[in-house]
Structure 1
Amino acid sequence: MKVVRTVAEDLRTPWGLAPLPDGDLLVSSRDEGTITRIDGRTGRKTEVGSVPGVAPAGEGGLMGLALSPSYASDHMVYAYFTTDSDNRIARMLYDEKRPAGEQLGAPDTVFKGIPKGTNHNGGRIAFGPDKMLYVGTGETYATELAQDKKSTGGKILRLTPEGEPAPGNPFGSPVHTYGHRNVQGLAWDSRQRLFASEFGQDTWDELNHIKPGDNYGWPDAEGTSDDAKYHDPITQWHTDEASPSGIAYAEGSIWMAGLRGQRLWRVPLRGTEASAEPQAFLKGEYGRLRTVVSAGGDKLWLVTSETDGRGSPGDGDDRILELKVS
C-alpha cells in the first residue's frame, strides 16, 4: 500500500465522501453542515451548499453521504445528519448549473426519528448492490436500544430509496441487524456480501460480516462471545489500536480507517472469514482516519479526521489522500 498523492487539504471536519461519476468528490463537513465538491485532479474546492437543519454537537452533525443509485438521471444526493431532535436522512437535488453555494435543492426527508445523543450517532449510509439504502446507527449511550428491535438505534437499517422498509427485511421493519453499539463502516465485497465496522467500549472493536436478522451482541457481548445467539466478529482489535469508522473493499481485502488507532487496517478475506492476520499501515503518519472509499480497482480515497475535536491538527489538516493498494 502506498500514498499516491494528497488530493485536497485544509478541510474542516470532513466526514462523508461520495465519488461523482466524473472523478470529482463530494465531502461533508460534520460541524459546518456544508457539502463541498473537490476536483479529483487539482483538489480545487467549491462549496456546493449547506444542509438546513443540521445541529452539530459532540459526534453529531452532517455525516454520511451517498449518491442515488439513479444519480445519472435524478442527480440526488443523500445525507445523514443530526438535528435538534433526531438523526435523519434526506435527499437533495444537486444542480451543478446553479451558482456555487446554492446548488443543493431543498431537503426531502426520507427517514427520521433515529435516536440522537452527544455520542454514538452512527452516520454511515451506502446504497448496496440491491439498490437499497443501508444505514449504520448508534445507540447514543442508551445501551438498551441496541437489543430493542422496535428502536432504530444500535442497528443497521435497510431502506428503499424512498425511506420505506426494504422488501425482504427480516422483521418487516427498517431493521436489518441489531445488537450494535455504533456502526460507521459499511462495504460489500465482490460477491455482494456486506461487512460493517463497529466501535467497542473499552475492550474490543469489531469487523463483522452482516447477515440479515442476526444479533451482534451489544451490550451483552463486546467482541467474541461464548453465547451462540450472538454473531461473532470476523476479527477484533483493542480500542486504542482501531476505533474504526469507514471501511472499503479492494483487492480481496477490507480496508478499515482507525480514529484513535490512527492507522489503516487491511483484513484479507477468504469468503466471510479473515484469511490472515490484519496488517496496519500509515500508523501515526496522518493522524486520525475517518473515511475510506473505493476509487475503483486498486485505488482508495482516504479522509483524515484531525479537526474533529479529538485530534491534533497541523498545517494542511484535514486531507483527502489517494492510495494504491494490493
Structure 2
Amino acid sequence: MGCRTQRVLLRKLYGVSILFLAAACEPGTVLESSELRTQRAVFAAGEPLVSASSGRCLDVVQESHTPGTGLQIYGCHGRTNQAFTFTASGELRTYDNTLCVDTASGQTAQGTRAVIATCTGLPPQKWVFNENGTVVHTASGLCLDVEGAKTADGTPVILWTCNGQTNQKWSLPAPSDTQAPTPPSNLVTSNLTCNSVTLSWTGSTDNVGVAFYDIYHDGQWMKSVDGSTRSASLTVVPGATWGLYVNARDAAGNVSQASPTLALTPPQCQVDTTPPTAPTQLAGSVSGTSVTLSWNASTDNMGVTGYDVLRNGAKAGTATGTTFADSGLAASTPYTYAVVARDAQGNVSTASNALTLTTGAACANPICSVTQVATDTDIPWGLVPLTDGTVLYSRRDAQDIVRLNPATGVKTTLGTVPNVQSTDGEGGLLGLAVAPTFDTDRWLYIMHTSPTDNRIVRIQVTAGFTLDLASEQVLVQGLLRNKFHNGGRLRWGPDGKLYASTGDAQNGANAQNTSNLAGKVLRINPDGTIPSDNPFGNFVWSYGHRNPQGLAFDSNGQLWEQEFGNSVMDETNLIVKGGNYGWPNCEGTVSQGGSGCATPGYLAPKQTYSTAEGSCSGIAVVRNVLYVACQRGTRLYREIISGSSLTNVTPYFVGTYGRLRTVEPSVDGNLWLTTSNSGDKDSLPNNSNEKIFRVLLGN
C-alpha cells in the first residue's frame, strides 16, 4: 500500500484549467505528515457540487445539522446545506466548514451511505476530487455515487466501485455570471387557428450564451424552448385577447427583461349567431340591504357561459351558476331585477321575467353599503388612510401621489415621485405605507419600479401636502424587476417594522434563493437597515413566493399574504418567520416540479382560489375578518379569521364593479376599495377609467 501524487482539477476559470497536486492513496493507507503537506485541491467555501447525470446538487437532507444525516441529490438552490469545501487536509466540509462528509458508522463497504458528521480528521472523512469529476473516498477507494444512477430529487448518495458513469461525476459551478441576456425582439405570429399559433422572434445576445426562451402571456408562463430555438407552437383560447412576450434565460439563471408585447386574438372555431334561451322563474329574497336571486338555467346550441344580472336596467354583476347575491344596497329601497344569458361568442338572450324586491329598513348584513367617492383616469395602486380622514393613493402609470378628501371628493396632487419607470406591464408606482408616527415624522414609504430595479424609498410630506423631494431616501434597492411579477405591496407591522412583497421577476428560481430579495416577503427597519432578528441575515422574512401583492396583519399580530399563481391556483398564506411557501415547485396545492407540494418544509396555503375566480391583489383585515380584492375573479372575498384558519369564505360584488385591485381599512373600521379595469397591462398613463369606493361594513 502507499500513495501516489496525481493531478486534481480545481475548476476551469474562463476556459483555463487550474490544477493542484493531491495524494491518492490505496485503501487503508494512513497519510504521514509529509504526505499531508502535499497540496490538495482547495476551492472557495460554499461551492455546490453538481451531479453530471442530473444537474442536481449534493445536498444534506432537510437542511439538518444532526450528525448521521444522509446526503442526497436535490435541485440546486444555493443554501448552506448545498455548500461544500475541500480542505487542504482532504476533508469535504459543509455548513460553513463546521461539519464533515463521512460514511455511515465509518463503514467503507460498497453501498454505504454518505452522511455528515462532527469533524475528526480520521480516514473515513478524507476525499479526493479528481480531474475527471469523480470524488474518491480515500479510505475505501470507492467513488461518491448517486444510487442506482437515478436523477430524481431525494436520491441517496453512497459509496460505489468507480465505474466512470455520469452518476459518479461531479462538477463545480462555472465562473460567476451575473449578466442577463438582452431582451428578445421582433415578435411575429403565423399559422393562426382558433386554438393554435406559431410565435417567432429575433434572438437575444448574452456574454456566455442564451440557454432558454420562456414564453408568456400577460404574466402567465406558457412554454419554454432551448436557446437555439427562435419559434414555438402555442395553444391558445378562441376569442381570448392575450399579450404575448418572450424572456431569454442563460445557463446561470439570469433572465432578460421581456420583449415587447404582441397582442393576439384567435378567431372562434365555429361561427355562432344563435343566442341562448331566456332564463326563467327568476325569484329572490331580501335580508337587510342584501338581495339573493335564483333562476332556472338557459340552454344554448353551443353552451351557456354565464349570466348577467340587471338591476334597474343596468348590469349589477355576473354569475356562472343560477344564483346571485347583490349586497351593499340602500335601505328601504325597491330594486327591479332581470337576468340574461350569454354564450362564448357574445350572443345574449332575451331577459327573464322581472322581479321587484324592497330592501329592509336597516342593514343586517356583513356589507351594508357601497359609495363611489371618486374616479381616476389612471390606476390607483397603493392607498393609505390618514388620521384626518383623507387618503393618499398612488397612480401607477402617471407616477404621482394624490390626496383625496372623501367628504368633498376633492383631489389634490402631492407631486410626481422621481425615478419611476413603468415596464410595459405591471411595474410603475406601486405600494404606499405610513408609520403610526406619520403625524409627527411625515414619512411616506413608497415602492416603485425604476429604470434598473424595484426599490423602496421614503419621502417626507410637507404640512401643505406636497412631496419634499429633497428629503427622499432610498431604503432598499436592487430588487429584481421585469414586465410582470414585481410584487409591490407595503404594510406596517405591529412590531414597528415595514413589510414588503416582492415578485420573482419572472424567474421562479429566484423565489427559492434566500440570498436575493425576489419572490419574498421582506422585513425592514424604518431607516432601511436590516433587523437583527431576520432569519437569513438580510431583508428576507419568508420565501418561495411567485408574485405576492397583498399583506395584512390581524389583531393577533399574524401576517397574511395574498399571492398570484400562474394558471391554476392563487393562494392566501399565513406568513411565518423563515417560512418557505413552495414556488416554483408548488402552485397553491398543485405540484409543478421536483417533489412538488410534498417537499419537506413547504408551508401550505390557508386558502386557494382558481385563477378564474381569483387573480387577487390587495387584502385588508377589519375586526379579524380578511377581505381579498380580486381582478380576474371580479369579486371581493370575505373570510373570517379563526386562529390560523380562514372560514366562511364568501364572495361579494361578483362582476358588479369589475376588476378589484386594492382594499384597505378605513380609519373608522370600514373599507376602501379600488378598481383596475382598463389600461392594466400597457403602462400608459391616464388611459383608465377607475373608481374608488367606500364600503360600509355591518355585522
Q: TM-score, normalised by structure 1?
A: 0.94
- The 1-side partners of 2:485 and 2:380 are apart by 17
Whether 2:673 is the aligned partner of 1:306: answer no
Residue 220 (str. 1) matches residue 585 (str. 2): yes
User: Cα offset for 1:268?
Assistant: 1.3
The alpha carbon displacement at 1:308 in A equals 3.6
2: CA distance, partners of 1:53 / 1:88:
10
- Which of 412, 418, 433 pairs up with 1:52? 418
| C-alpha separation in 1, matches of 2:568 and 2:678 | 25
Give the Cα separation in 2 of the matches to 1:235 and 1:126. 21
Deviation at 1:297, TM superposition (A): 5.4
Q: Deviations over 1:194-220 (max 9, x none)?
A: 000000001110000001001000001
Partner residue, 2:570: 205
The answer as to 2:493 corresponding to 1:132 is no
- The alignment status of 1:113 with 2:478, answered yes or no, reads yes
CA RMSD of aligned residues (A): 1.7
The answer as to whether partners of 1:18 and 1:26 remain within 8 angstroms in 2 is: yes
Out of 598, 605, 608, the position equivalent to 1:236 is 608
Q: Equivalents in 2 of 1:61, 1:95: separation in Å?
A: 23
Match of 2:658 among 278, 287, 290: 287
Q: Answer whether contact 2:677 2:688 (CA < 8 A) is retained.
A: no
Q: Is the counterpart of residue 31 in structure 1 residue 397 in structure 2?
A: yes
Q: 1:182 aligns with which of 534, 537, 547?
A: 547
Distance 2:551 2:606 in 1: 14
CA contact (8 A) 2:480 2:505 kept: yes
Q: In terms of mean alpha carbon deviation, does 223-232 or 234-243 score higher?
A: 223-232
Matched, 1:13 2:13: no
SS of equivalent residue, structure 1 residue 209: strand
Q: CA deviation at 1:143?
A: 0.8
**Shift in Å at residue 229 of structure 1?**
1.4
Task: Spell out, residue by residue over 1:34-89, the C-alpha distance to the aligned partner (whole angstroms, 9 max, x if none).
Answer: 00000021121101100010001211000000113321211010100000000001
2: distance between equivalents of 1:322 and 1:198? 24
Q: Please, which of 678, 690, 693 is the counterpart of residue 321 of structure 1?
A: 693
Instruction: Decide whether the 8 Å contact of 2:635 with 2:660 is kept in 1.
Output: yes
- 2:526 is aligned, of 161, 167, 189, to 161
Matched-pair contact (CA < 8 Å) for 1:97–1:103: no
Q: Does 1:85 align with 2:455?
A: no
From the CA coordinates, give the structure whose radius of gyration is larger: 2
Does residue 67 (structure 1) correspond to residue 434 (structure 2)? The answer is yes
1:11: Cα distance to partner? 4.2
Kept in 2, the 8 Å contact 1:124–1:185? The answer is yes
What residue ranges of structure 2 are gaps of 5+ in the alignment?
Answer: 1-366, 590-596
1:120-139 Cα deviation digits (max 9, x unpaired): 00000111011101000000
Aligned to 2:632: 260
Q: Is the 8 A contact 1:80 1:123 kept in 2?
A: yes
Three-state SS of the structure 2 residue aligned to 1:9 is strand
Structure 1 Cα separation of the partners of residues 450 and 642 of structure 2 = 41
> Distance in 2 between the 1:219 and 1:258 partners?
22
Equivalent pairs, count: 319
1:295 CA drift (Å): 1.0
| Contact persistence 2:426–2:680 (CA under 8 A) | no
- DSSP-derived class of the 1:240 partner: helix
Question: Given that residues 555 and 623 in structure 2 are in contact (C-alpha distance below 8 angstroms), is that contact kept between their aligned partners in structure 1?
Answer: no
CA contact (8 A) 1:50 1:104 kept: no
How far 1:16 sits from its partner (Å)?
A: 0.3
Secondary structure of the structure 2 residue equivalent to 1:105? strand
Could you tell me the TM-score, scaled by structure 2's length? 0.44
Higher strand share: 2
The 1:72/1:111 distance shift into structure 2, 3 A limit, reads: same
Q: Secondary structure at the match of 1:275?
A: strand
Counterparts of 1:24 and 1:279, CA distance in 2: 29
